[in-house]
Structure 1
Amino acid sequence: MSTNSLSTVLSGISAANERLRASANNIANLNTEGYRRERVEAQTTDSGGVSTTVTKLPTPGQDLATDVVDQQAAAYTFIANLKVLQTQVRAEGALLDIRV
């Protein structure tokens, strides 16, 4: 796997992990008075990967529905990136089989 491809996949996995962490933290603090929810924003990097920024929302409040959806989306993003990694590893393995 090329270094750029691996970097892109790993940044996607890292972004999904950050989104899952933030939504889990929001759910864990659902009933904490004054808690301000975290929001994760993702940006595409010049190399084609993803970077994330975590911010606290300006006012306290809860949004359980959004946090549960964020957890599902993070799980699907993680699985999609893992599938890309597995496919790339299989393809490289096939290339090695051909060369031998």
Structure 2
Amino acid sequence: MNTISSIALSGAHAASTRLDVAAHNIANAQTPGFQRQVVHQQSQETAGVMTSMGKVDEVGADLAADLVAQMEASYNYKANLKTIQTQDQMVGSILDVKA
């Protein structure tokens, strides 16, 4: 797999993880003693992003932060998919020119 695709795929995976975590936090907001989960992202040396999950120290929900995280992750996911689509179109165009 080439670098553009691997970067975009890792970004889409990270956005998907962030969507899952935000949904989990919203679904469990009313659970007594619930600790929100958070996603930590770190760029990789070779390319792309690596994600890990953790929990916040304080107990309780932060619905505003989770809703914003969902919207942001959704936009990031769409942007990464558009990158993959554009890369595929470029490769197709190169193959058409070479053929």
Alignment-mate amino acid for residue 11 of structure 1: S
| Cα RMSD for the two superposed structures | 0.9
Mapping for residues 80-91 of structure 1, pairs under 5 Å: 80-91=79-90
1:70 aligns with 2:73: no
The answer for the alignment partner of 1:31 in structure 2 is 30
Alignment-mate amino acid for residue 98 of structure 1: V
Unaligned runs of 5+ in 1: none
d(CA) in 2 for partners of 1:13, 1:5: 12
Aligned partner of residue 52 in structure 1, secondary structure: strand
Count of residue pairs brought into register by the alignment = 99
TM-score between both structures, scaled by the size of structure 2: 0.96
Unaligned runs of 5+ in 2: none
Following superposition, the deviation at residue 3 of structure 1 comes to: 2.0
Any conservation in 1 of the 2:26–2:66 contact (CA below 8 Å)?
yes
Aligned-residue identity in percent: 41
Any conservation in 2 of the 1:8–1:47 contact (CA below 8 Å)?
no
The answer for the alignment partner of 2:54 in structure 1 is 55
Following superposition, the deviation at residue 66 of structure 1 comes to: 0.3
Following superposition, the deviation at residue 11 of structure 1 comes to: 0.4
Following superposition, the deviation at residue 5 of structure 1 comes to: 1.8
TM-score between both structures, scaled by the size of structure 1: 0.95
Alignment-mate amino acid for residue 48 of structure 2: G
Shift >4 Å, 4+ stretches: none
